[in-house]
Amino acid sequence: MSLRSASHRLASVAKWQLNATLAQNQTTAKRFGMALVAGASTSRRSLNIASRPSDLVGNTPLIDLNKILVNHGVDVSNGTRLVGKLESLGPCSSVKDRIGRSMIDDAEEKGLIIPGKTTLVEPTSGNTGIALAFIARERGYRCILTMPETMSIERRMMLLSLGCEVVLTPKETAVPGALAKAHEILDELGPGNGYMLQQFENEANPKVHRETTGPEIWRDTDGSVDIFVSGIGTGGTISGVSQYIKGSEKYNMPPLKPELKTVAVEPREQMLITEAKGGVRGDNQGPHRIQGMGAGLVPKILDLDVIDEVIPVNSDDAQTMASELWMIGLPVGVSAGAIVNAAVQVCARPESAGKMAVAVIPSFGERYFTHPMFDSIKAKAEGLAKQPLPEPFDNTEYGFATPRG
pLDDT tier, 124 (very low <50, low <70, confident <90, very high otherwise)? confident
Residue 43 and residue 45: Cα distance in Å, rounded? 7
pLDDT tens string 9-61: 545 444 445 444 444 444 334 333 334 444 444 456 778 899 999 999 999 99
The pLDDT of 107-119, averaged and rounded, is: 96
Q: Which of 93, 230, 335, 363 is catalytic?
A: 335
Residue 58 and residue 131: Cα distance in Å, rounded?
13
What pLDDT does residue 337 have? 96
Confidence of residue 155 (pLDDT cuts 50, 70, 90): confident
How far, in Å, are 27, 111, 259, 330, 401 from residue 324 at the CA level?
Answer: 44, 46, 31, 9, 41
pLDDT tens by residue, 203-227: 999 999 999 999 999 999 999 999 9
Angle, in degrees to the nearest 10, between helices 334-347 and 315-327: 90
Lowest model confidence (mean pLDDT) among 3-7, 127-131, 146-150: 3-7
Q: In this model, does residue 125 exceed pLDDT 50?
A: yes
Mean pLDDT of all residues in 335-343: 97
Q: Which of 85, 96, 261, 355 is catalytic?
A: 96
Predicted local confidence at residue 126, as pLDDT: 79
Average pLDDT over residues 68-93: 96
96 is known as an active-site residue:
yes
Portion of the chain with pLDDT greater than 90, in percent: 74
Q: Average per-residue pLDDT in the chain?
A: 89
Residue 57 has, within 13 A of its CA and on its CB side, a CA count of: 27
Least confident of 20-29, 150-159, 292-301: 20-29
pLDDT at 36: 42
Phi/psi of residue 126, nearest 5 degrees? 135, -65
Count of C-beta atoms within a 10 Å radius of residue 47 = 6
Comparison of pLDDT for 2 and 138, the residue scoring more: 138
Mean pLDDT of 141-160: 89
Task: Please give the pLDDT value at position 369.
Answer: 87
Q: For 173-187, 251-265, 338-352, which range has the lowest pLDDT when averaged over its residues?
A: 173-187
Res 336: pLDDT: 96
Residue 296 has pLDDT above 50, yes or no: yes
Instruction: Please compute the mean of the pLDDT values over residues 86-90 and round it to a whole number.
Output: 95
- The answer to whether residue 335 is catalytic is yes
Q: Is the pLDDT of residue 368 over 90?
A: no
